[in-house]
């Protein structure tokens, strides 16, 4: 794919994620522009995930968009999520793979879609922390596969 075609695809994905973020915004009274630089994000540790997160938007049904940061070298073992995840890589080399397949991390501008219920692994490359912008139509969960089974 040529650079200009790739830019159009990435721009379209970011625009679509922006519409999702706007659709799930938790405060309908807030009609102003919100603008953040990655360097200014105030990261928080969520429960049950190996990441740091900054919530961008949320709705009462649990749908949300977040900035998520994975420390370099993070490898999340086989797991699922109840809801689909759409994500765009903003920094680092990040990717996921279905059960039994090898992760092929992508750099800034890469897109990842993970269907809810799909067994997969997730990795952040060893050279730099990974920052992604991700959206889900439901609440976040991380359900380990095979934990406690023999």
Q: Strand, helix or coil at 23?
A: helix
The rounded distance, in Å, linking the Cα atoms of 113 and 134 is: 9
Q: What number of other Cβ atoms are within 10 A of residue 58's Cβ?
A: 18
For the stretch 139-149, pLDDT in tens is: 999 999 986 55
List the one residue out of 50, 115, 44 whose CA is nearest residue 77. 50
For the stretch 37-46, pLDDT in tens is: 988 899 998 8
- Can you name the CATH fold of 3-144? Jelly Rolls (2.60.120)
For the whole prediction, is pTM greater than 0.85?
no
Q: What number of other Cβ atoms are within 10 A of residue 67's Cβ?
A: 19
The domain limits of the chain are 3-144
Residue 20 CB partners (closer than 8 Å, separation 6+): 65, 86, 135
Chain centroid to CA 97: 14
List the one residue out of 87, 141, 84 whose CA is nearest residue 115. 84
């Amino acid at each position: 794919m040529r650079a200009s075609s790739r830019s159009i695809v990435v721009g379209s994905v970011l625009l679509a994620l922006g519409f999702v973020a706007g659709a799930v915004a938790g405060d309908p009274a807030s009609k102003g522009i919100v603008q953040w630089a990655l360097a200014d994000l105030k990261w928080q540790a969520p429960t049950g995930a190996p990441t740091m997160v900054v919530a961008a938007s949320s709705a009462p049904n649990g749908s949300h968009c977040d900035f998520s940061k994975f420390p370099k070298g993070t490898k999340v073992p086989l797991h699922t999520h109840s809801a689909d995840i759409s994500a765009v890589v903003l920094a680092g080399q990040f990717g996921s793979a279905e059960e039994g397949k090898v992760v092929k991390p992508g750099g800034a501008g890469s897109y990842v879609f993970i269907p809810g219920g799909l067994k997969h692994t997730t990795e952040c490359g060893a050279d730099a922390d990974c920052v992604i912008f991700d959206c889900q139509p439901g609440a976040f969960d991380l359900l380990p596969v095979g934990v406690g089974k023999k």
